[in-house]
Amino acid sequence: MDDEEMGDLLRLLRPRYTPIAIYYTKGFPSYASRPSEESCVVASMMLHAFREGRTVAISRDLVGCKGALNGLGLGGDSKDARDAIASKYSAGTDDPGKNYFCCPEAACHNYLDAVPVYGSEDDVAVMQPIDEAQEMGADIETVAFLTDPLELSALVTLAGFLGKTDDTVVRCAFGFSCEQLYAMPKQEGERERPRLVLGATEFYPRRFLDQSMMTVSMPYSMYKEMDEKAGSSFLASDQWRKSAQPGDRDCCC
């Protein structure tokens, strides 16, 4: 995308990877490819969209990892399956778990009951570079960045620039990586002041990522506000980028 066509946020931030938009259709789009054989959506969808600029879509019948039924707004898995997750991820259960939570009750309270399940069984989830999705007028719901530490720092700082906040501008909690890309940022969009969602904190999908990379997701409304206000923020000057360079001893105040 040319600088003249690019919004202020991307023009000033200059992210390594163009962020991806997530939205939904009722039929499988002709312009989208299907997931690769990898079951995890990080490998089979997200990285193709980020690194190759591809548009990838998934329907319920193509889901390899059942967590995506909950995380990507495809109507959710069965109650029995979700109850099984609470047990599997907990310590002290009959079926030895992963010990992510001290007990199934904590798993439900801290995670399963805290992240809504969106969508329906006939939805198709689409991941597409943000510029292409905006150009075609897609009904974008969430936007995700694949960030290095400096880009993450800039997005966190910009989130605080937008206006008065609670005690944090970032939601960081356990969840499937697909939930951190869609369900959690969509839920944030229901708040008066949405927060960024830090993602790729789930252990398994990290094997597909550079070790320094994380995802940062947000509702589309927050992305648009960031884009509108980026030009009047610290991003308008490259001083923030220079301040982060190793060996720079100038005071940041």
Of the candidates 201, 184, 73, the residue with the CA atom closest to the CA atom of residue 126:
73
**Residue 236 has what DSSP assignment?**
G
Give the pair of three-digit tokens for residue 206.
């990290």
Q: What are the CA-CA distances from residue 69 to residues 10, 16, 18, 39, 81 (Å)?
A: 31, 29, 25, 12, 11
6 in a structural domain: no
Backbone torsion region of residue 73, taken as left when φ is above 0, otherwise alpha when ψ lies between -120 and 50, otherwise beta? left
Angstrom distance (rounded) from CA 183 to CA 75 = 11
| 47 in a structural domain | yes
Q: Per residue in 160-211, pLDDT tens?
A: 999 988 889 999 999 999 999 999 999 999 999 999 999 999 999 999 999 9
pTM reported for the whole predicted model: 0.91
Question: What tokens appear for 106 in the block?
Answer: 């904590």
Q: Give me 99's structure tokens.
A: 């010990």
Whether residue 99 lies inside any domain: the answer is no
pLDDT single digits (tens) 87-124? 889 987 777 678 999 999 999 999 999 999 999 999 99
Rounded distance, CA 174 to CA 112, Å? Answer: 10
Residue 4 lies in a domain: no
Does residue 7 fall inside a structural domain?
Answer: no
- Domain assignment of residue 112, yes or no: no
Supply the range of the domain harboring residue 144: 20-76+117-243
| Position 4 confidence tier, pLDDT thresholds 50, 70, 90 | low
d(CA 55, CA 61): 18
In a domain, 51, yes or no: yes
For the chain, how many structural domains are there in total? 1
Tens digits of per-residue pLDDT, 35-56?
Answer: 987 788 899 999 999 999 999 9
89 located within any domain: no
pLDDT band at 79 (very low <50, low <70, confident <90, very high): confident
Per-residue pLDDT tens for 119-154? Answer: 999 999 999 999 999 999 999 999 999 999 999 999
Q: Cα-flanking dihedrals φ and ψ of residue 80, to 5°?
A: -60, -40
